[in-house]
Structure 1
Amino acid sequence: MSNVTRLHHALPLSPAINTAVIDLDSSIAKAIDVAKAAGLPQGLVISILHGHAQMQTNIMVS
């Protein structure tokens, strides 16, 4: 994902958080590649990701 710009937090983040973000990003990218290779329609991949993001947003605001 070399064409993605990372946003940096105003305060320095710990190395553990940076590692977790990198691992999360890499895992998501690999899962998307596997799903595409299996023939999942791109719209379904996007809707699944959007659903998870919506659920996490709901958890954060409640």
Structure 2
Amino acid sequence: MSNVTRLHHALPLSPEIQSAVNALDIAIAKAVGAAKAAGLPQGLVVSLLHGHAQVQTNIMVS
């Protein structure tokens, strides 16, 4: 995912948070790569990611 621009928070993040963000980014990229290699349709990958984002958003605002 070298063609993806990462957005940065306006305030400085702690090294622990930055490390966690980097690890999450790498894990997501590997999982998407594995899903694509296994032949999952791109729409299914996108819908799964969107579904998880929706659930986490709902948790944050509840």
TM over 0.5: yes
Alignment length (residue pairs): 62
Give unpaired runs (5+ residues) of structure 2.
Answer: none
Q: Partner amino acid for 1:23?
A: A
- The match for 2:44 is 44
Partner of 1:12: 12
The structure whose RCO (Cα within 8 Å, separation 6+) is larger is 2
Structure 1, unmatched stretches of 5+, are none
4+ residue stretches of structure 1 with deviation over 3 A?
none
1:35 is the counterpart of 2:38: no
What is the rounded CA distance, in whole Å, between the counterparts of 1:40 and 1:6 in structure 2?
Answer: 25
- TM-superposed deviation, 1:49: 0.3
CA RMSD of aligned residues (A): 0.8
After superposition, the C-alpha distances for 1:5-62 in whole angstroms (9 at most, x for unaligned) are 2212121101111110010000001001111111111111111000000000000111
TM-score normalised by structure 1 residue count = 0.92
